[in-house]
Amino acid sequence: MILTRWGQSVSIIAGEGLLARERAIKRVDMKLKKLLLAKPRGFCAGVDRAIDVVHMALELFQAPIYVRREIVHNKHVIESLAAKGAVFVDQIDQVPEGAVVIFSAHGVSPEVRARAQAKDLRVIDATCPLVTKVHMEAVRFARERRSIILVGHAGHDEIVGTMGEAPECTQLVSSVEEAEKVQVADPERVAVTTQTTLGVDDTREIIEVLRRRFPKLVSPASDDICYATQNRQSAVKLLAKEAEVILVLGSDNSSNSRRLREVAEMSGARAYLIEDAWKIDPGWFEKVQCVGITAGASAPEHLVQDVVAYFKGLGVEQVEEIESVEERVTFNPPPELARAMTNRQTVE
């Protein structure tokens, strides 16, 4: 028997949870008839790649494999990889000398890379290629001696890494209010770049303010907000045209998942960000006839299917997908991992 620290079996606790949920459902005037599933939803190409990197590294080098920060921002993914031998650390100093370390999908600063080199670590860089693009833009703008305005959320791993490329000339702006107040050395030599997981509409408003204040503002040739973020937000807007309540599968520290909830709310639906089906409150659906379901770019599909199963258990039979765009983007493994795989195949 598996015991908790209180001496109760997991099965007993699960049974009590189900009983409490059944009682709550009986108290709700449930009129739910339809589920709408957003498509695309869940894993993007960068997340798929990052998770595959950890799996391949565990196969090539054996556990433990160290990962600096969460490889992607999802509790279920992290717990699954940790069970297979991945060791997640906050700082490079926690990694033994000479060990294998993976940089997360959110990227790292040059300072982190230097520390890894000083410890003779075998580095595998799982940074999303779209995040790498933003880093390269920051480096280019700094070389052009421009003041860089980075639009994003303070403390997010991606922002910390990008700002580290040119800290002496980069300022963070997180809102329209901050965009109205930010000061630069030369108003005619200003560039802007953004975090890849922001809300499209909010970011547009911020950049419009910056363009008004700095008419010669330079921006990247293509949008920094990644295709997956934009596609998932577009899909949520379609859901909100019919769904009264929208559930977003994702962890609270996932920026793109939080933005999906905000977009759903701004589009007129009530929205809730949940880790999994166990976080559902039946009270949310009183007199609700249609519920929409989506998932952040770091949330696995099985979490969505668990939620669908939950509603089917309540008697909901009508389940439809609404597709806003077809995604075909894929990314190759990091070159250092591809070389290791080739070398292994040669030896075998």
Contact predicate 288/258, CB 8 Å = no
CA count, 13 A, side-chain hemisphere, 246: 33
Tokens representing 276? 């999994």
Residue 70 DSSP SS3: coil
Reply yes or no on whether 158 is catalytic.
yes
Contact predicate 287/28, CB 8 Å = no
Which candidate in 70, 137, 158, 165 is catalytic?
158
How far, CA to CA in Å, does 323 sit from each of 32, 196, 234, 270, 308?
Answer: 22, 22, 10, 21, 17
Residues 144, 142, 162, CA angle at the centre, nearest 5°? 150
Contact predicate 341/56, CB 8 Å = yes
Q: Mind giving me the DSSP string for 300-323?
A: -HHHHHHHHHHHHHTT--EEEEEE
Which residues have a catalytic role annotated? Answer: 158
